[in-house]
Structure 1
């Protein structure tokens, strides 16, 4: 999975944060609070995200409402999977990854592993 570009990430971040469908106009107005960006630029990138399968869209009057297909967490998990795929020694890469985690993150990982193992047992 290719990492999102800067503007793609900004658009997705807003949609993930808002947790509701939004128009290009809403996205542009929000980005313009931090920096100037043209409506047509955001419209083009939003359409690209739709074409790539990142966004769903639904016609609302004359405007499209966009919403994410995947959660932010699913995106992060796919990036981690890709990162592990870069290593010739996945167990060693996992060890390095876990060594850099906080105690709370290690606890959350242990809980996630217990849950996955429970679901896997018939």
Structure 2
């Protein structure tokens, strides 16, 4: 899973928050208002970063219209889950890392985890029954 630089992350946050595809110039203008560094952004820089995000599989664009409109391919939650899997994949003691993580969750998050694990177990049971 590729990582995101600061500008890439800012762009993705905007795209994840959007209900509709966004033009590169609109992204540049919005980021310029939110960050002091954004004031120096050229449209060509924005297009280069969007192209990189497209190669990394984070965004796609509608090429049927001009200017092209960009949108996120996956959700923020999908990206976060991929990062968690990447970190766990690099950890030699996954059980210890998971135990530490679980020890840090709130009671509400623990309940959510219980529900998700229960649903996953039921799904696995159903799949095993179908395969038998």
Length-normalised TM-score, structure 2? 0.85
Deviation at 1:72, TM superposition (A): 0.6
Q: C-alpha separation between the residues in 2 aligned to 1:25 and 1:106? A: 42
Q: Which of residues 106, 110, 116 in structure 2 aligns to 1:106? A: 110
Higher CA-based Rg: 2
User: More helix per residue: 1 or 2?
Assistant: 2
Kept after mapping to 1: 8 A contact 2:2/2:56: no
Q: After the TM superposition, which residues 25-36 of structure 1 pair with which residues of structure 2 at under 5 Å, given as runs?
A: 25-35=25-35, 36=39
**Partner in structure 2 of residue 3 of structure 1:** 3
Q: After the TM superposition, which residues 84-95 of structure 1 pair with which residues of structure 2 at under 5 Å, given as runs?
A: 84-95=88-99
Deviation at 1:93, TM superposition (A): 0.8
Unaligned ranges ≥5, structure 1? none
Cα deviation code 1:32-82 (max 9, x no counterpart): 112212222111100111122211111253211111111111100010011
Measured on the aligned residues, the alpha-carbon RMSD in Å equals 1.3
Deviation at 1:97, TM superposition (A): 0.7
Counterpart secondary structure, 2:22: coil
Length-normalised TM-score, structure 1? 0.92
Unaligned ranges ≥5, structure 2? 127-132
User: How many residue pairs get matched?
Assistant: 122
